[in-house]
Amino acid sequence: MSINIKVYLEIIKELKEKNVQLVAVSKTKPVEDIQQLYNLGQRDFGENYVQELVDKQPRLPQDIRWHFIGHLQSNKVKFIIPFVYLIHGVDSLKLLKEINKQAAKHQREVDCLLQVHIAEEETKFGFDEQELQELVNTNLKELHELKNVRVCGLMGMASFSDDENKVRAEYKNLKKLFDKFSQLLTTNHKLQTLSMGMSGDYKIAIEEGSTMVRVGSLIFGERNYSG
């Protein structure tokens, strides 16, 4: 058994007390492990890869809330739109438009988080503060015309670092951006979710204002990327 049930129950208890939502990151994990966690009451699961998510979704209970937390390419949006619950990593207006277009075909409204680049690593995707401001200033009318997507929050990943002060500062900065842009986006786009924090730093993220954390290896064990 790879699931650490004791740790999962401890995390759930801690998050409920703080009114923070847990997304169990199940990428590379078998459907049997996901089913086991589902049987304990978990409903929100996060996947990074479109093909893996498309393979798993029909084999598991249909009331699972699937979160797509990886980097999403525009040409793959159509595969997850029929069932995805929340898309975490929207990093361009172009991608938002494609999600809107595909959601309209299924007569759905899909919730999305704008990904913000807060880490030092160049490999991380996302808007910076200037690009977010431009999105609001220049494209606000265009944004509000997208009737089949709802921008409901921000998401960010801190630097992969043992320096807690650095991680905390990055999350603090994202919370400031969240508060700032919450005042600017209204009507069908209203920021309510701040998704930040993973297995190694979720406690810091919660202290800095996170409302949703993405925890995988603490619950499922280390990931297996072979094959």
Higher pLDDT, 146 or 84: 84
**In this structure, are strands 65-68 and 44-47 parallel, antiparallel, or unpaired?**
parallel
Q: What is the pLDDT of residue 150?
A: 92
How would residue 141 be classed by pLDDT, with cut points 50, 70 and 90? confident
- Which of 9, 41, 25 lies closest to 197 in space, CA to CA? 25
How would residue 138 be classed by pLDDT, with cut points 50, 70 and 90? confident
| Residues contacting residue 69 through CB under 8 Å, at least 6 positions apart | 23, 25, 46, 47, 48, 88, 89, 155, 214
Domains of the chain: 5-220 (3.20.20.10)
109, exposed or middle or buried, with CB in 10 Å at 0-12, 13-18, 19+? middle
Q: Which of 52-61, 90-99, 178-187 has the lowest mean pLDDT?
A: 178-187
Return the percentage of the chain with pLDDT > 90, whole number: 78
Which tokens go with 64? 């699972």
Backbone angles phi, psi at 81, to 5 degrees: -60, -35
- Which of 212, 204, 200, 215 lies closest to 21 in space, CA to CA? 212
Return the percentage of the chain with pLDDT > 70, whole number: 94
Q: What is the pLDDT of residue 227?
A: 42
Summarize pLDDT for 56-81 with one digit per residue, the tens.
Answer: 999 999 999 999 999 999 999 999 99
Q: What is the mean pLDDT of residues 80-97?
A: 95
Q: Crossing angle of helices 164-182/129-144, nearest 10°?
A: 30
How would residue 94 be classed by pLDDT, with cut points 50, 70 and 90? very high
How would residue 28 be classed by pLDDT, with cut points 50, 70 and 90? very high
| Residues contacting residue 15 through CB under 8 Å, at least 6 positions apart | 21, 22, 206, 213
Alpha carbon distance 147, 13 (integer Å): 37
Alpha carbon distance 219, 23 (integer Å): 11
- Which of 16, 128, 113 lies closest to 70 in space, CA to CA? 113
Q: What is the mean pLDDT of residues 17-24?
A: 97
What is the rounded average pLDDT for all residues in the chain? Answer: 92
Which tokens go with 132? 């977010």
- Does the pLDDT at position 10 exceed 90? yes
Backbone angles phi, psi at 75, to 5 degrees: -75, -5
Residue whose structure tokens are 């801690």: 14
- Does the pLDDT at position 43 exceed 50? yes
Q: Are 32 and 53 in contact (CB under 8 A)?
A: no
